[in-house]
Amino acid sequence: MIIGQWLTATIAINGTLSDEVDLGRPYDTLLVVVPAIDSAQVNVKVAEKTGGLFQDVHITESDGSSAVVKSDLGTGGITWVIPLGGFQFIKVQTSAAQAGGARSFRVCGCRS
């Protein structure tokens, strides 16, 4: 397994979306260290190029339906491993604004 560089995706105070993070190359999997957050779900958005249109990551289920990859509602303090599907540019999003200070998520790409 090849592990990329650990980077930071920061969500500003009262925000829900981080700035773009360039992982340096396309990766299959993303490791996300979720800090303590206000109660929210977390998801990752991807784009095929820098400054591109960022979209949710969906997984196709065995029955052909798809679902957005997102965490359970919680307060963070977890490490999360998600499929990335070969993307290089990401943003981290929360379902609720983060009051009381910016939140820094540590992210790292992995590939086989």
For residue 95 the two structure tokens come to 């379902």
For residue 94 the two structure tokens come to 């929360």
pTM of the model: 0.93
Q: How many domains does the chain have?
A: 1
Q: What percent of the chain has pLDDT over 70?
A: 100
For residue 102 the two structure tokens come to 């910016």
> Tens digits of per-residue pLDDT, 50-99?
999 999 999 988 898 999 999 999 999 999 999 999 999 999 999 999 99
For residue 88 the two structure tokens come to 């290089």
Contacts of 70 (CB under 8 A, 6+ apart): 41, 42, 43, 56, 95
pLDDT > 90? residue 1: no
Domain hosting 35: range is: 2-111
CATH number for the domain including 44? 2.60.120
CB-based burial label for 53 (10 Å; 0-12, 13-18, 19+)? exposed
